[in-house]
Amino acid sequence: MDTQVVETIGFDLGHGETAVAKAKVESIEPPQMLEVNNKKIQITAIGIHPELGILVGDQALIQAGVTQLQIGFKQKPNNSPKYRQTIHNFVETYDRILKESKQIEGGEISQYYVGCPSGWSTEERQEYQTLIKEAGIKKLSIIPESRAAFMQAKEGGKLGYNELLSTVLIVDIGSSTTDFTLVKSLHEMPLDFGRNTLGASLIDKAIFARTLANHEQKELLEKIFKQHSHHKFRCEIQCRRVKEDYFSNEQLYSDGATFARGFEFITPQLHFIPQVNKSIMEEIINQPLPELENKSWIQTFREAVNEAKEKLKDQGILPQVVLMTGGASRMKFTRDVCAEIFPEPDTQVRPDPEPERCIALGLARVGRWELRAAAFKEEVNKLCDSPKLKEIVSKHIPGLIDLLVPPLSAGLLQNAVKSGLKEWKDNKIRTLADLQTTIEQRALQWLKSDRAQQIINNQCVNWFNTEIRPDLAAETDPICQKFQISKSSLRFEGGIDSTVVNPQLSFAEDVLGVTVSFLVSLIIAGGTIGSLIALLLTGHFVLPIALVYGAAFLGEGVRLNKERITDALKTKIDIPGWIRFMALSDRAIDEMCEKMNPDLQKSLKESMTQQRDAFDELIGKVGQQLKNALDAKAEEAIILIQ
């Protein structure tokens, strides 16, 4: 048996920065950010120190004596031994630090959720998972970063329920790539633009190239960078920090005399000082870059957003929300471009206020949500697969019969019996046997009519709302309570309209089929209509017929007993019109039908109650439909689980 996971670890291993968050599975409290080297967010860097061993983050950058420094090494999985060893060492070191500092439990009760670009294929995700597991992570899932961003927005209250069910375009501007992902109800669909190289680190590199080109000792620096790559990496990090400083305080650096500056000490006489202000940054984001086919960063980004819009337009989709994440979403011009291409009010552009933390927190939330959602579905399935639903339906079948019998009896009398009697009175039907056949045919015709179907439909809805629904809620409420979601999530709060509100609950058709088959059997095989007609009509006609025709006409030796006269009346005698007219006024017909109603209702109820086989089939069908409807409700409710 698997050990129960008690905490989910969101591990955002980014090309530029790395962050980790943790969520407790049994809690709905927000996840907490974890610290490595006393920092919640680290530069993605790794180095080896001859005495201290493997160092990560800022320690790898700052510690004197570090060799083999590497930064920005996240990429699609490949077979390079250096790449695989770097990922292995980085993940293993992070995991060790988190366990040693008691921030995570580790082992079987901690499950890692590691992010990847949404454009990675299933095979690439699988290979990445294998690689990270080799670093000693026992329980692990690879999750698209777009889903994490979506979940963080959902849990942070940035997306309303209707928006969660609508379409959300996630624009994830990372250090190495910009990913566009359409998300609908947690199902992500990456928009593939082919080779994606549009990352914000290109801006870092442009600042680096500009600073180096303008440096007084350019040749010396180039020689040092070639021989000692860790100096180059540290200078690139300074360029990244300058960029982040600028975009965090753009207004401050709009003045031509004010600069965002970095400083890297190489030797006492040699320093690397990148600096930018508004005019320099405008120049950088508008300059052609070889990595972008000699297009500028802003031009390429604009084209990508436009292409995303066109791809969605081809599918008839206009996203309700554009959710921007990734550290580079702090660059104001990216938000301006998105707002220009997806204008309000049709689309809301929403940048994440903490993009550096967003993915780590979102990954921890996705992990917790997946575990809790799976447990929730298991509880609902357990209820659906238990005998409970059928027991609830079976228990209330007598109530369904009680609801169906009165309107069906009234409808049969009005639409079959009464109209037949009036035609017989007017000599349009010859014998009582013909009258019985006519009434039976009309009864069947009416039962199959839209009106009869509507009656059955209405009574089924009434039956569900008054009898089934309360018992169903008694079973589903504890499940909702356990997972801390509203009881209404699995309730059919407004009742049902089987054609509008809950198309899964269209069991009126099943009830109709069973009911019609009952009544066909009852009317034809049971002879109910015939016996009722004979019983009532003999009371009206025995004496007049005997007086007019005499016993001999009825057959030699026939006594005037009710049984023989009934048979003769039905088959032999075409009763004169004046007798029919005298005996059957409209009022008399109404009275006859009124007298027949209790007997017909009794026959219908007895017949239905005795037909257990047919109702067993109905119980099975209605039980299955309740299961389908609960499944659909559960799918909707899953999105509410935290």
pLDDT digits (tens, 9 = 90+) for 39-57: 999 999 999 999 999 999 9
Structure confidence at residue 528 (pLDDT): 57
pLDDT digits (tens, 9 = 90+) for 438-454: 887 888 888 778 888 78
Structure confidence at residue 553 (pLDDT): 42
pLDDT digits (tens, 9 = 90+) for 184-221: 766 777 776 545 788 899 999 999 999 999 999 999 99
Structure confidence at residue 102 (pLDDT): 95
Terminal-residue alpha carbon distance, the chain:
25
pLDDT digits (tens, 9 = 90+) for 308-330: 999 899 888 899 999 898 888 88
Structure confidence at residue 595 (pLDDT): 80
Structure confidence at residue 560 (pLDDT): 44
What is the bridge-based pairing of β-strands 7-13 and 110-116? parallel
Confidence of residue 627 (pLDDT cuts 50, 70, 90): confident
- 63 alpha carbon, distance to own chain's centre: 49
pLDDT at 77 > cutoff 80: yes
Q: What Cα–Cα distance (Å) separates residue 524 from each residue in 208, 520, 550, 593, 598?
A: 94, 6, 32, 19, 19
pLDDT at 174 > cutoff 70: yes
Structure confidence at residue 121 (pLDDT): 87
Structure confidence at residue 380 (pLDDT): 83
Instruction: Check: CB of residue 352 under 8 Å from CB of residue 149.
Output: yes
Give the whole-angstrom CA distance, residue 440 versus residue 442.
Answer: 5
pLDDT at 179 > cutoff 90: no
Range 280-293 burial, b when 16+ CB lie within 10 A, else e? bbeebbeeebeebe
Structure confidence at residue 19 (pLDDT): 94
Low-confidence winner among 248-257, 475-484, 514-523, 603-612 (lowest mean pLDDT): 514-523
Q: How many residues can be counted in the chain?
A: 642
Residues in CB range of 513: below 8 A, 6 or more apart = none
Q: Give the mean model confidence (pLDDT) for residues 480-492.
A: 74
Q: What Cα–Cα distance (Å) separates residue 132 from each residue in 88, 115, 203, 591?
A: 6, 12, 29, 86
Instruction: Check: CB of residue 642 under 8 Å from CB of residue 369.
Output: yes
For every residue of 566-593, DSSP letters joined together read HHHHHHT----HHHHHHH--HHHHHHHH
Structure confidence at residue 297 (pLDDT): 95
Give the whole-angstrom CA distance, residue 389 versus residue 384.
Answer: 7
Q: What are phi and psi of 173, to 5 degrees?
A: -95, 100
pLDDT at 178 > cutoff 50: yes
Instruction: Check: CB of residue 370 under 8 Å from CB of residue 143.
Output: no
Most confident range (mean pLDDT) of 120-124, 283-287, 408-412, 520-524 is: 283-287
User: Tokens for 75?
Assistant: 């990429």
The percentage of the chain sitting over the pLDDT mark of 90, rounded to a whole number, equals: 29
- The rounded mean pLDDT for the chain is 81
Structure confidence at residue 9 (pLDDT): 94
pLDDT at 547 > cutoff 70: no
Cα within 13 Å of Cα(148), Cβ side: 34
pLDDT at 552 > cutoff 50: no
Residues in CB range of 1: below 8 A, 6 or more apart = none
Give the whole-angstrom CA distance, residue 332 versus residue 204.
Answer: 16
pLDDT at 124 > cutoff 90: yes
Give the whole-angstrom CA distance, residue 93 versus residue 221.
Answer: 32
User: Tokens for 535?
Assistant: 């019983």
- pTM for the model stands at 0.71
Q: Give the mean model confidence (pLDDT) for residues 469-476.
A: 84
Low-confidence winner among 20-34, 569-583, 584-598, 628-642 (lowest mean pLDDT): 569-583
Q: Give the mean model confidence (pLDDT) for residues 121-140.
A: 92
Structure confidence at residue 532 (pLDDT): 56
Q: Give the mean model confidence (pLDDT) for residues 342-362.
A: 89
pLDDT digits (tens, 9 = 90+) for 391-432: 888 888 888 888 888 998 888 888 888 888 888 777 787 777
pLDDT at 222 > cutoff 70: yes
Give the whole-angstrom CA distance, residue 592 versus residue 600.
Answer: 12
Confidence of residue 574 (pLDDT cuts 50, 70, 90): low
